[in-house]
Chains A and B, each alone.
Chain A
Amino acid sequence: MPDSDSTPSHAITVDAVSFGYPGVGDVLDRVSIDVRKGERLGVLGPNGGGKSTLLKIIMGLLRAKSGSVHVLGMDPAEARRTGRVGYLAQKVTADLAFPLSVRQVVAMPAAHRASPFGPTPKTALDAAMAALELVGATALAERPIAALSGGQLQRAMIARAVVTRPEVLLLDEPTVGIDVEGQRRFGELVEHLRRELNLTVVTVSHDLRTVATTSDRVACLRRTLHYHDAPAGLTPEVLREVFSHDVEAVFGSGTVDGHGHAHD
């Protein structure tokens, strides 16, 4: 498996990747992670554990100091630039003061490289409508982006993330600040998209419940890789190792104990 850099069955291979910021030291130390096509991988770790850095490396926004990364068998920046990788940020980073319709916003990743002559190409507008249909938000298409509720806005942002029909979807702390009901709906929506588009989904989170309930496999990350397997195999020992003193806070209502017992 380690030498299967770009085998077709893998969507993402991260091989012995190290990365550091000057004056801060290594944030990632020889991390190897593989994600199969169609798989849901959860990346779990404490704040500052290197999750975001790993995500940026998978997107090709940062270059690994050593080791190699392949996304869909190609250079990660190339995969991202060609629309094969969708990305949903933790917070809505958009400036909602812009006078734009939902459809204009959703079409952006599909339209920004279009010829400057003439109007937005029909293919991009059709792709935007198709993406809105996938998230069940076609009725919002002509609404100003500023007029959406929080939940509607999240749907629009998800639609934008899949408008180029990516093969890989990266979710960065998608459920931070969302109530339990909202988290459930979000999980269902992602699952629906995954089936419809044959997506490989990577979810980065410090929230164990999010990761455990929505992933086929979990990668526990704290500078090095501490665990890389099915969530059922997670033990309190592993989690203690990754989160050190934070375990109580992370476990919240004792979900992890539940998992541990179920597995015994």
Chain B
Amino acid sequence: MRTIEYLTDPALGPLYYPGLVTAVLVALLCAPLSVLVVLKRLAFVGQGVSHAAFGGVGVAVLVAATTGAGLFGPVGQAVVGASCVGSALMIWWLSHRDRSDGGRTTRHADTAIGLVLAGSMALGLVLHRKAGELAADAGRQAPPSLESVLFGSVWEAGWPSAVAAAVLLVAVLGGLVWWRRPLIFWAFDDAAAEAAGVPTGRMRLVLLVLLALAVLAAVRLAGVVLATAMLILPGMTALELSRRLWPVVVAGFGLALASVLLGLVLSFEAEIATGPAVVFVQIGMYAVVRGVRAVRGASGSAASGAG
């Protein structure tokens, strides 16, 4: 087992700890939110927000190349965070129902996301290239590779990254606990929630901001492209396991945690990148759950047919 060798090595082991802690925190942070993301069909919104993070990374590496501030320091994280929340707000604003005509015209979120996604990917690529040139000219450290930004590089994370993930964990879980009742009511039944006095516009905003904060954390683990896996697959699999709220939430936590840990083991053993390894494990878990259900369903109907 390479995993045990690496992690217990007195010289190498401690280098992995910040990444390990970050990965666990990201899993715990994304798990409950992923249930709502799946139910509220916000997967594509998450995709838009995470790609918007790439635009933010572009700006952050440019700042890093010109001033020497680190990408993973407070300045860099603030820039990327601002682009996540900013893009979530822009998606909200672009797709928000315009009430001046009684809701007769609605701009749909997917159109808004298409715009934000393409725009920030374009911006991120241009700025990343520019930052590379500037850093070389100034003799500063080159920005992280495109690959690590796009697909994640959790082992490059230092303790500041783990601290950032802990702060985001408290913010996201705190927000979910604080707003859980109106949030679930609104997500479950928009019209009835509005009639009962739930501020539905505010709930939409709350969910998008929480989503943006979770994406910001998940990008560290799985990169811009794969971050949404963390925000979809644990919830998607958990919802296959139960039709009760708390079992689904608990299963979501368990699945997210297990997939991250197994993913890290897989990445050590098979020597593949961590982001893709976690995604493979998550897809595998979903496939197993669906497979078991299909087999049970088939044998159940066969049994009842025989009986």
Chain A residues with a Cβ under 8 A of chain B: 21-24, 53, 59, 61-62, 80-83, 85, 87, 89, 93-95, 97-101, 104-105, 108-109, 111-114, 116, 120, 144, 146-147, 157, 160, 164
Q: From known contacts A22-B100, A109-B196, infer whether A100 and B245 are also in contact, taking CB-CB under 8 Å.
A: yes
Q: Is the CB of A95 within 8 A of B39?
A: yes
Q: From known contacts A116-B177, A116-B179, infer whether A97 and B192 are also in contact, taking CB-CB under 8 Å.
A: no
Q: From known contacts A21-B101, A23-B101, A94-B188, infer whether A83 and B245 are also in contact, taking CB-CB under 8 Å.
A: no
Q: Is the CB of B191 within 8 A of A146?
A: no
Q: Is B193 an interface residue (CB 8 A)?
A: yes
Q: Is the CB of B101 within 8 A of A83?
A: no
- Residues in A whose Cβ lies below 8 Å from that of B242: 99
Q: Give the CA-CA distance A146 to B195 in the complex, in Å.
A: 22
Task: Find the B residue at minimum CB distance from A61.
Answer: B194
Q: CB < 8 Å: which of A82, A83, A94, A147 contacts B243?
A: A147
A118 CB to nearest chain B CB (Å)? 11
Q: CB < 8 Å: which of B39, B177, B182 contacts A98?
A: B39
B160 CB to nearest chain A CB (Å)? 31
B177 CB to nearest chain A CB (Å)? 6
Q: Is the CB of B195 within 8 A of A111?
A: no
Q: CB < 8 Å: which of B104, B181, B239 contacts A111?
A: B181
Q: Is the CB of A81 within 8 A of B197?
A: yes
Q: Which residues of B187-204 have CB atoms within 8 Å of chain A's CB atoms? A: 187-198
Q: Give the CA-CA distance A53 to B179 in the complex, in Å.
A: 30
Q: Is the CB of B239 within 8 A of A99?
A: yes
- Residues in A whose Cβ lies below 8 Å from that of B188: 94-95, 98, 100, 105, 108
Q: Is B121 an interface residue (CB 8 A)?
A: no
Q: Is B159 an interface residue (CB 8 A)?
A: no
Interface of A is mostly: loop
Q: Give the CA-CA distance A89 to B191 in the complex, in Å.
A: 8
Q: Is B180 an interface residue (CB 8 A)?
A: yes
**Residue of B177, B182, B247 with most partner-chain A CB within 10 A:** B182
- Residues in A whose Cβ lies below 8 Å from that of B181: 108, 111-114, 116, 120
- Residues in B whose Cβ lies below 8 Å from that of A97: 39, 239
The 10 closest A-B CB pairs, nearest first, are A81-B197, A144-B243, A109-B196, A94-B189, A87-B195, A93-B191, A99-B248, A108-B185, A112-B181, A116-B178
**Residue of A89, A100, A147 with most partner-chain B CB within 10 A:** A100
Q: Is the CB of B180 within 8 A of A116?
A: yes
Q: CB < 8 Å: which of B102, B189, B247 contacts A95?
A: B189
Task: Find the A residue at minimum CB distance from B100.
Answer: A22
B29 CB to nearest chain A CB (Å)? 18
Q: Give the CA-CA distance A62 to B195 in the complex, in Å.
A: 12
Task: Find the B residue at minimum CB distance from A94.
Answer: B189
How many chain B residues sit at the interface, stated as a range, is 20 to 34
- Residues in A whose Cβ lies below 8 Å from that of B189: 93-95, 108
A64 CB to nearest chain B CB (Å)? 13
Q: Give the CA-CA distance A94 to B196 in the complex, in Å.
A: 14
Q: Is the CB of B197 within 8 A of A80?
A: yes
Q: CB < 8 Å: which of B102, B198, B245 contacts A104?
A: B245
Q: CB < 8 Å: which of B177, B192, B198, B244 contacts A89?
A: B192
- Residues in A whose Cβ lies below 8 Å from that of B194: 61
Q: Is the CB of A95 within 8 A of B101?
A: no
- In the complex, besides A21-B102, A87-B196, 7 extra interface pairs with C-beta distance below 8 angstroms are A97-B239, A98-B187, A99-B247, A101-B244, A104-B245, A108-B192, A108-B196
Residue pairs across A and B with Cβ atoms less than 8 A apart, 5 shown, are A61-B195, A94-B188, A99-B248, A108-B196, A112-B198
Q: Is the CB of B182 within 8 A of A21?
A: no
Q: Is the CB of B192 within 8 A of A87?
A: yes
B269 CB to nearest chain A CB (Å)? 35
B256 CB to nearest chain A CB (Å)? 17
Task: Find the B residue at minimum CB distance from A120.
Answer: B181
B149 CB to nearest chain A CB (Å)? 34
Q: Give the CA-CA distance A204 to B246 in the complex, in Å.
A: 38
Q: CB < 8 Å: which of A21, A80, A114 contacts B195?
A: A80
Q: Mark B26-60, 1 if CB is under 8 A from A, else 0.
A: 00000000000001000000000000000000000
**Residue of A85, A112, A116 with most partner-chain B CB within 10 A:** A112
Q: Give the CA-CA distance A120 to B184 in the complex, in Å.
A: 13
Q: Give the CA-CA distance A114 to B178 in the complex, in Å.
A: 10
Q: Is the CB of B196 within 8 A of A83?
A: yes
Q: Give the CA-CA distance A95 to B182 in the complex, in Å.
A: 15
Q: Is the CB of A21 within 8 A of B180?
A: no
Q: Give the CA-CA distance A225 to B23 in the complex, in Å.
A: 64
- Residues in A whose Cβ lies below 8 Å from that of B243: 99, 144, 146-147
Q: Give the CA-CA distance A206 to B195 in the complex, in Å.
A: 22
Q: Is the CB of A22 within 8 A of B101?
A: yes
- Residues in A whose Cβ lies below 8 Å from that of B192: 87, 89, 93-94, 108-109, 157, 160
Q: Give the CA-CA distance A230 to B191 in the complex, in Å.
A: 31
- Residues in B whose Cβ lies below 8 Å from that of A116: 177-181
- Residues in B whose Cβ lies below 8 Å from that of A109: 185, 192, 196
- Residues in A whose Cβ lies below 8 Å from that of B100: 22
**Residue of B180, B191, B244 with most partner-chain A CB within 10 A:** B191
B238 CB to nearest chain A CB (Å)? 9
